[in-house]
Structure 1
Amino acid sequence: MRVVIVGGGFAGVACAKRLANESGVRVDLIDRAGYHQFQPLLYQVATAELTSEDIRFDLCRLFRDSPNVTVRKAVVAAVDPQARTVTLDDGQVLAADHLVLAAGAQPNFFNTPGAAEHAFPLYSVDDAQAVRGRILTILEDVKQRPELVEQGALNFVIVGGGPTGVETAGALGELIHDVLPHAYRGLPLDRAQVILVDAGPALLTAFSAQAGGYAATQLRKRGVELRQNTSVKQIDPDQVTLSDGEVIKTRLVVWGGGEKAAAVAATGGLPTGHGGRVTVGGDLTVPGFPHVYALGDVANIPSGDEPALPQLGSVAQQSGRWAADNILAEARGKTPHPFHYRDKGIMAMIGRKAAIAEVGAHRHEIHGDFAFAAWLGVHMQLLDSIGAQLKAYAAWAQEFYLRPDHRSAELLEPSRVDSPRIDWDQKG
């Protein structure tokens, strides 16, 4: 039996690991980057809390002891769900008995003029490195030319009040007020601004209203300015125009304003729904295609009365394992089971010592140290699912929580990131 898995994220890796070393099963795991990226911590790479190596895990290394799993670093050009084939960008065609789509998500700019060209999304390691590189380039340029502050050089705009936007804004606020004074002495950091823009009236809408209020309070404590009930109308190379007419001069706009399914979801005539994600049934297969699975962020996975589960790492991980179990059950002549998600709650890290979590069936809300412990526990379980080093992660977590501010300054060395220069004369 041959299984082809498209995507090396939480869902794809979890599925492949469950099928690894199974007798009579051959697995092809296809990923364009060739590594698993720990997406929940991308914002910490972007804001110099971590290096990219801290959250990037080579897929060949992860499966080095699984001879029945072949990792292919390649781009999928097309999927034929009827024939259960995958065509790679070099023209090679892979046929499967079971096809698993776990290609993840991509940013959704909602047709905002200039967003695709000038905003910085935060959905991959390359994205995170690009954001950090832009920050370092700005700081170095302002160090040489302080007058650039008048052009908005130290204005940083974050779009989106969900976890990505809130966590990035909080980390940037701490970077500017706690870390940069150690790394860039003499810069007019009192002129720096972190501005979070969100179209809705509340932050973290997947959480309770109280949680959103807590997040807003914590962000303001970190110097973040909030523009709520306000959308982005246009992004130019040197400024952002908001729906209320405000124009903010800036050279860095981080986009956390939404996501949609990876491009592969639109190939092959698969049924899609909200966010362009593939529609699946209770057993995670695509209606009309009983041997084609869609998992994680590329799928709308139903749950009870809810039309779809949220795009979370734990959902992706559990759906990957479940799909593998259903594939093995079918191969053994047994009936596949409907997916049952074990809800571990939702959580966000607003900054050091400012985490928030809602856990349990009744979404009990916790803040501070206990929330950080819950956040740490869930992330360690996700890392364990891909075979990462838990001891190393635990050591990092403790250091992140307790370390002095000057430690992060080590990651702000310009030599660590190769970033394109900024044309400060370019106008919108």
Structure 2
Amino acid sequence: MMSTSFVAMTSRGRGTADKELQTVHREVVVVGGGFAGLALADRLGRDDVEVLLIDRNNYHQFKPLNYQVATSQLGISEVGYPLRGIFRRHDSVKVAVGEVVAIDPDARSVTLADGTVCTARILVLGVGVDANFFGVPGAEEHCYPMYTLEDAERLSRRLISELDRVDSPLGITSDIDVVIVGGGPTGVELAGAIAENLRVVIAPRYDGGIASKVTVHLVDHGDALLKPFSDASHSYARRELEQLGVQLHFGTSVTSVSADGVELGDGSRIDSDTVVWAGGQRPPSLIADSSLPVGHGGRINVNDDLTVTGHDGVYALGDIALIPDIHGRGGETTSLPQLGSVAQQSGQHAARNILADLAGRDRSRFKYRDKGIMAMIGRGAAVAEIGRGRRHIQGHVAFLAWLGVHVMLLPSAWQRLAAVSSWVTDYGTSLRPRRVNVG
């Protein structure tokens, strides 16, 4: 049972009630409502374990589809779903909306922005990651990152505003250049969706050739797109994006960003009012400011049972954790990639280990079931590499596989139905509606 004890009281201004700062104790406290936290809380809830799930938002966001919100393919309600709705059948799982500002792994506690301290018998950390701008001058101030639903909605408003700006009573009087930094799955999928939007959906509705006035640039410091994929996927993604009119800039990096463009490492410049950052991610400063042990990229070191090294009773999951790959590819010690499937499976396995903890049994090692990787490029165009052996498929088969996998991962039946309906209209016709800007 959850217990509450009052530890401090602070007086607020005249005419307001005194604010009571409190300590809340729960058997399991989970920080983060992403794939890992959701899977873990759902599994523990089915066994009536008392769980407090804390997230800064009151909804779970399906991050792999954020780019489709940015390009008006899906609405917010199809990508974000209320956390309390997800756990409505689990009376033992409670949701708290709040910002965690401090972590004490020794006390197995977290402190919220309002001063509330949440302690636990078992603490689980799955807070996700933030954009990593790598210290590039102006990037944080002027770029549009793509890591939250708010980011996606902000970019959507920007793209619509740009189209409205150039479609003036005098005709299309200026160019639009959209720069996307990063050639990984997020950058490739976003570049393909924007370019396809312009050529297939938007251009036929305008006079004056708006598609010829808009250029999508993708900048990557490497020599290929989708680096974790095979050479066949690299070539296919490049060919498909170039056919959509995307200008690819390989072998150079962005050295600075301003309000009206980017400077590249090769000395060139691209004038642009819209620069999207898909070039890297890092754990939030909350992790670095704690006493948690961190390794490569600032991610938390964990044991093969997913407990934090040196902190029994504390688990770290998903993108913030350096989870050992116990299969030992090539005989080397490696960590698993930052993928939604890794996060989801780690959440499910950590739940089983927590049930073992509560029952006094031994924990088991986490073994990731590698089902493969995939990326969407446009209608009828995608790449997928299936299984640990990475069997390559591309084109319409990979496109349908991408749709099927992503729709099944959505947390509610309503979202699945809505997404399928949107995709049938979107990919089967050119009837995608232009969203409106409010405010």
Question: What TM-score do you get using the length of structure 1 for normalisation?
Answer: 0.91
1:140 aligns with 2:164: yes
Structure 2 CA distance for aligned equivalents of residues 398 and 147 of structure 1:
33
Shift of 1:331: 0.9
Q: Deviations over 1:317-371 (max 9, x none)?
A: 1111111110001111211101011111000001110010000231110011221
Q: Do the aligned partners of 1:5 and 1:27 also contact (CA within 8 Å) in 2?
A: yes
Distance 1:188 1:400, change over 3 A: closer
Any residues of structure 2 matched to 1:198-237 within 5 Å, and which?
Answer: 198-237=220-259
* Aligned match of 2:267: 245
Gaps of 5+ in 1: 419-428
Report SS of the residue matched to 1:248.
Answer: strand
2:383 to 356, 359, 362: 356
Shift of 1:148: 8.6
Instruction: Determine which of 97, 104, 124 is the counterpart of 1:80.
Output: 104
Q: Deviations over 1:159-203 (max 9, x none)?
A: 001000000000011011111124444464312110000000111
Partner secondary structure for residue 203 of structure 1: coil
Say if 1:143 and 1:187, in contact at 8 Å, map to a contact too.
no
**Contact between 2:218 and 2:247, CA under 8 Å: does it hold in 1?**
yes
Cα pair 2:323 2:335 within 8 Å, conserved: yes
Please tell me the residue identity of whatever aligns with 1:366: I
Instruction: State the shift of 1:218 in Å.
Output: 0.3
CA distance in 2, matches of 1:5, 1:149: 52
Partner of 1:283 in structure 2?
305
Shift of 1:394: 3.5
Moved more, 305-314 or 122-131: 305-314
1: CA distance between counterparts of 2:259 and 2:417? 43
Report what 2:91 is aligned to. Answer: 67
Distance 1:184 1:77, change over 3 A: farther
Q: Does 1:110 align with 2:137?
A: no
Matched, 1:320 2:347: yes
1:10 aligns with 2:35: yes
Residue 35 of structure 2 aligns with an amino acid whose one-letter code is: F
Q: CA RMSD in A?
A: 1.8
In 2: Cα distance, 1:277 partner to 1:340 partner? 19
Assess if the C-alpha contact under 8 Å between 2:319 and 2:338 holds in 1. Answer: yes
Aligned equivalents of 1:265, 1:143: Cα separation in 2: 46
**Cross-structure match for 1:424:** none
What's 1:390 paired with? 416
CA distance, structure 2, for counterparts of residue 183 and residue 90 of structure 1: 50
- In structure 1, C-alpha distance between the alignment counterparts of 2:212 and 2:415, rounded to whole Å: 40
Aligned length: 409
Q: Of 192, 195, 204, which residue of structure 1 is paired with 2:214?
A: 192
Say yes or no: does 1:94 pair with 2:118.
yes
Where relative contact order (Cα < 8 A, 6+ residues apart) is larger, the structure is 1
1:375 is matched with 402
Contact 1:313/1:382, CA 8 A, preserved across alignment: no
Cα offset, 1:22, TM superposition: 2.2
Secondary structure in structure 2 of the residue aligned to 1:20: helix
Q: How many Å separate the matches in 2 of 1:29 and 1:149?
A: 51
CA distance in 1, matches of 2:385, 2:421: 25
Q: Which has the larger radius of gyration?
A: 2
Secondary structure of the residue aligned to 2:73 is coil
List alignment gaps of at least 5 residues for structure 2.
1-25
CA distance in 1, matches of 2:193, 2:251: 22
Report the CA distance shift for 1:148/1:230 in structure 2 as closer, same or farther (over 3 A): farther
1:331 aligns with 2:358: yes
- Distance change (3 Å), C-alpha of 1:63 and 1:183: farther
**TM-score normalized by the length of structure 2:** 0.89
Secondary structure at the counterpart of residue 331 of structure 1: helix
Matching residue's letter, 1:131: L
Q: For residues 73-119 of structure 1, give each alpha carbon's deviation from its aligned partner in whole angstroms, at most 9, with x where no partner exists.
A: 10001000000001000000000011110011110000011000000
Alignment of 1:245-264 (within 5 A): 245-264=267-286
Distance 1:285 1:325 in 2: 12
Higher percent of residues as strand = 2
Q: 2 CA distance for matches of 1:390 and 1:213?
A: 32
Q: Identify the residue that residue 346 of structure 1 maps to in structure 2.
A: 373
1:10-49 CA-partner distances (Å, limit 9, x unpaired): 11111110011423x2111111011001100111111111
Query: How far apart in 2 are the matches of 1:395 and 1:352?
Result: 15
Structure 2 letter corresponding to 1:7: G
Matched-pair contact (CA < 8 Å) for 2:73–2:422: no
